[in-house]
Chain A
Amino acid sequence: MANREVVYSTCKSCHGGCGVKVTKEDGVVVHIEGNPDSLTGGTMCSKGLSSIQHIDNPYRLKYPMKQVGKKGEGKWERISWDEALDTIADKMKAAIKDYGPHTIAISQGTGRGYNRYTMRLARSLGTGNAITPGYVCHSPRLGLYALVTGYGRLYCDYHGWGGEFPKTQIMWAKQLEISSADSEMCYWYMRSLDYVKNLIIIDPRASAYATRANLWIQPRPGTDCALALGMMNVIYEEELWDKEFVDNWTFGFEELRERVKDFTPEKVSDICWIPKEHVIEAARMWAIDTPGTIQVGSSLERQANCGHTLRAITCLMGLAGNIERPGSMVSWVLPDTGLIEDFNLELPITDEMKSKIIGGDRFKMGATRTCNPDTMVKRLLAGDAPIKVWFSVGGQQIVHMANTKEVVAAIERVEFMSHTDLFMGPMAEAADIVLPAAHWLELDDVYDMHPRFMIEAHNKVIEPPGEAMSDAWIFNEIGKRVVPDKWWDTVEDMLDYQIRRGEGPDGGPLKWKDFSEKLVSGCWGPDQVYYKYKTDFWREGGGFPTPSGKFEFKSNHLESLGYDPLPVYAEPGESPVSTPDLFKEYPLVMSSGYRQPFYFLGQYRNIPWLRSFMEFPTCQLHPETAKLYGVEDGDIVWIEGPRGRIRQKLRTFPGIKRGVLMATANCFYPEEPAKGYHGVFISNPNVLTSNDHLDPMYGSPDLTCLLCKVYKAKDEELKEEVFRNEEYGFVPPHSQEDM
């Protein structure tokens, strides 16, 4: 009789955190499905389900290894964990002694599940130079929310706990329906659609619901701030604002009126290349049919005006009174385990650490707690070597940062780098030591990422391959070796510590063992509090936790940092308007905002089931635009800009704005050799992006708004292995070869 066992856990194949039910037979995972007794109702996406090909993937890293050739040569030799960890720890100690702790960089990718370990390690070592993709994903919005409302976490209330669902929903440069990333779960959003009156999609490219929504606005990439200012203009002109909220709880209302005065629907229509009626219609829906929510996509944070764009959008929320109302933008009451970031926040960033943060003198909103990666690249290239030791976990800076050529050249100059990952990839090849990490089915950890009202558990289902270990263990081992007083004897001790404020079954502190059996803990339904600004929640006598105690349309704090205190529109660094001469040579507006539901950023092109859905990185053009430039559906095309050219497969798509090319971002080819960093120069749009023009507040580059031209690749130019490899391709169920 076969031995069947069911284990419940939490998925982190994207940011999500969907409940998972795994069935094992004789120790082998034979089934994965959603856990019906979870907040995602038993649903799961293709990424999480295809984990079966992740855990048994023959290309997994199994042992610590050291590079025995030159960086990027791919010559590796197995070493022991002790040798690997001791080498890294010794390098860190030497750097601290010889140059100071700020010369150590700790980096992560999306850091889902281990954000807090990255930050704690950096802070415990005494460096503020943590490198994260936050400045192009999520951090700007948190900072701006905090600036305007005093509280850094505003989420869309899709739950109905307060009696209302959102009446108007805006999806702004976001495909929440396929991504559960950043703050919300797609399952909650899609369920709330049964109650929505107005669904507004703002996206140059048709996302799944665009053509069935009430309004679909296709702005030119990089002009979203103007659209937000234009919507506010209409709200002022037509006196549609929420009088009660504005009169009692806001600061700078008249100054904002003055600022948006010029942004008439006509002007916005010219800037954004949209009909002026769209601006008016969206503003009316948003301000009249309240409550409403705006789901912001990180494409807006991959633009060099991201600070003001997000500031404008946040002001738009306030004008309509869509703050803290049931069915609007809400900050959640935390579970009784508290704020998970306290795990790293309890170690303060000292003024000394702050003063050594790379880019901190320039990007006064973004580079206050983490380094500005683009500035680091420039300094490495200039030869002043601000980073001596780089401890990298999970992220692919080579792939996601602007100007790939410069990033590779800079990273090759770092004296010592280690990288932790599940597979070989561009960052691993640039490292001196690689450490093998465990998949989420292979580890125990606390999962508390973005949905702030709940906290979940990853429960280990199977053993990792070879000697792969969990992120938590790796961070703790490094921490123990360099700053032992800030770390723990065992991982379980560390997990207990993170949830200690919760209440255990015996009334004492919650322990990992008890928590892991329970899977989900949190506050929802009647435990949530709305209208916090009308209570003592943030401030005695009511108000927002801002300097003025109000919702700040105008920010004196921002002014004191040298920025405009009100939102202001700026063109992208390279655009038809800002660089008209360049536009003559590169006549298409390009965005790298195309995301697919079965990939997560740079991940999963080595999972055959997922790769089968899209073999090559693909770009989209409107059929008429394609015709204009002589390219056809299915062509492999060159996409060329001032800094280089890449190839992607072209799909003509009527759902994309004419004159815009939408390329797939974050693509490298895991099957390609180490030399050339796994094909990172073949198709990755960041070969084309610039790291010279950055957002003044956050240092974010223009990754989703630049210029390009397109032309068909010649047959002889397609000799790279990737374009001849039929291995992964989707085979239709009914094909000639079967007959």
Chain B
Amino acid sequence: MRWGMVIDLAKCTRCHACVAACRIEHFLPLRVTWPRLIALETDNGYDVDVSTYPVRCNQCKDAPCVDACPTQASYKREDGIVAIDHDKCFGCRYCVIACPYQNRTYLSRKRNPNYFPEHAQTRFEKMGKKLYPHQVGTTEKCNFCHERIDAGREKDLKPGIDRDATPACVNTCQPRALTFGDLDDPNSNVSKLIREKSGFVLHSEYGTEPSVYYIDYKLGGNPSNKAPVEAQTGSHIQHLSTVYAPSKPKLAKKNAD
């Protein structure tokens, strides 16, 4: 098992919701962000490309940060996630330099002011100190929400399929540009996408074997606009369990608009 993510560059809208969801999920300090968006905008004279690359820790198979860590604070979990033991990290920042993708952040005091620096901590921040403490003087990065994965799997939930076992950024993405799943399973959503849409990794020449893949294509050109049966019945909108069943609309009533 090796958890991975496929990021759809055609669908990403640069909306930043993934960043916002991550900040809440991990009570991130004010000046720390785990995922980032990198804009790539080019005009070669006849063709314009406006792209957004969402990036985060690649959870590399051959992770230079793990190799560089003198205290084994950075380590590789059996499911492929690169994790950090903050009690072992003593802030040498070798890993920050070792990561060729620049996806690690050293949490300095400067990065950790109150959300409103001139004011007292908010209730959310105070609760964060208890629920998800951050240690100033250590290094941080995206952890694929392994807390969610672990808690979910204890309940027999499937990461990438069940929300409560899936990273927060994947859940919140409005264009559904993020897909999460098991790279070792050839039938998983991620494996299929990589195969069918020619998934690629960023800077493969670094040779670190990232677990974050990208796909890109032109929108449009879909062969059929026919709606599947489940869409026609209305159940295309997922999970209507909380919906109060409406009585039949009164069709004779004119719209007074």
Contacts and interface: CB of A to CB of B under 8 A. Distances in A.
The binding surface of chain A is classed by DSSP as loop
B224 interface: yes
Nearest to B224: A195
Contacts of B24: 31-33, 49, 52
A342 interface: yes
B108 A37 contact: no
Interface in A172-222: 177-178, 186-187, 190-191, 193-199, 206, 208-214
B244 A515 contact: yes
Interface in B208-257: 217-228, 231-244, 246-257
B164 to A, nearest CB: 10
A126 B256 CA distance: 21
A2 B19 CA distance: 27
Interface stretch (B9-17, B74-82, B152-160): B9-17
Interface stretch (A132-140, A364-372, A523-531, A568-576): A523-531
Nearest to B42: A654
A717 to B, nearest CB: 27
Contacts of B236: 159-161, 525
A409 interface: no
A43 B171 contact: yes
Interface in B62-104: 93, 96, 102-104
Interface stretch (A326-334, A419-427, A490-498): A326-334
Contacts of B36: 732-733
Nearest to A545: B254
A26 to B, nearest CB: 8
B14 to A, nearest CB: 6
Contacts of A333: 249, 251
Interface string B109-149: 01100011101101110111001000000000000000000
Given A160-B228, A733-B102, A212 B175 contact: no
Contacts of B117: 727
B17 A49 contact: yes
Contacts of A166: 225
A732 B111 CA distance: 10
Given A151-B255, A210-B50, A212-B219, A164 B227 contact: yes
Contacts of A211: 48-51
Contact of B43 (A165, A339, A526, A623): A623
A521 B244 CA distance: 6
Interface in A708-738: 727, 730-734, 737-738
A335 B248 CA distance: 9
A30 B172 contact: no
Interface stretch (A53-61, A68-76, A231-239, A481-489): A53-61
Given A186-B174, A212-B218, A597 B13 contact: yes
A660 B51 CA distance: 21
Given A190-B176, A734-B102, A196 B219 contact: yes
Contact of B255 (A56, A210, A327, A334): A334
B131 A25 contact: yes
Contact of A196 (B102, B174, B220, B241): B220
A629 interface: no
A653 interface: yes
B138 to A, nearest CB: 12
Contacts of A536: 252
A167 interface: yes
Contact of B239 (A36, A44, A525, A733): A36
Nearest to B15: A597
Contact of A30 (B17, B93, B124): B124
A44 B168 CA distance: 11
A598 B16 contact: yes
A159 to B, nearest CB: 7
Contacts of B53: none
A345 interface: yes
A44 B32 CA distance: 21
A579 interface: no
A297 interface: no
A223 to B, nearest CB: 20
Contact of B108 (A152, A198, A613, A737): A737
Nearest to B218: A212
B127 A195 contact: no
Contacts of A213: 218-220
Interface in B1-46: 10-17, 19-21, 23-25, 30-34, 36, 41-43
Contact of B250 (A35, A41, A336): A336
B90 to A, nearest CB: 15
A519 interface: yes
Contact of B13 (A208, A339, A538): A208
Contact of A197 (B104, B225, B237): B225
A52 B124 contact: yes
B58 interface: no
A49 B93 contact: no
B163 A42 contact: yes
A214 B244 CA distance: 40
B200 interface: no
A8 B244 CA distance: 14
Given A34-B171, A43-B173, A208-B12, A56 B124 contact: yes
Among A46, A164, A523, A733, residue most surrounded by chain B Cβ atoms (within 10 Å): A733
Given A34-B172, A43-B171, A208-B14, 16 more contacts: A28-B124, A42-B163, A44-B17, A53-B124, A58-B116, A160-B227, A178-B14, A196-B220, A336-B247, A514-B244, A529-B251, A537-B251, A613-B19, A730-B33, A733-B104, A739-B93
For the complex of A and B, list the 3 residue pairs with the smallest distance between their C-beta atoms, beginning with the closest.
A525-B234, A160-B227, A654-B43
7 contacts: A25-B131, A49-B24, A146-B257, A153-B257, A178-B13, A213-B219, A336-B247
Interface of A: 8, 25-26, 28-46, 49-50, 52-53, 56-59, 146, 151-153, 159-167, 177-178, 186-187, 190-191, 193-199, 206, 208-214, 291, 326-327, 331, 333-336, 338-339, 341-342, 345, 502-503, 514-515, 518-527, 529, 536-538, 545, 597-598, 608-609, 612-613, 622-623, 653-655, 727, 730-734, 737-739
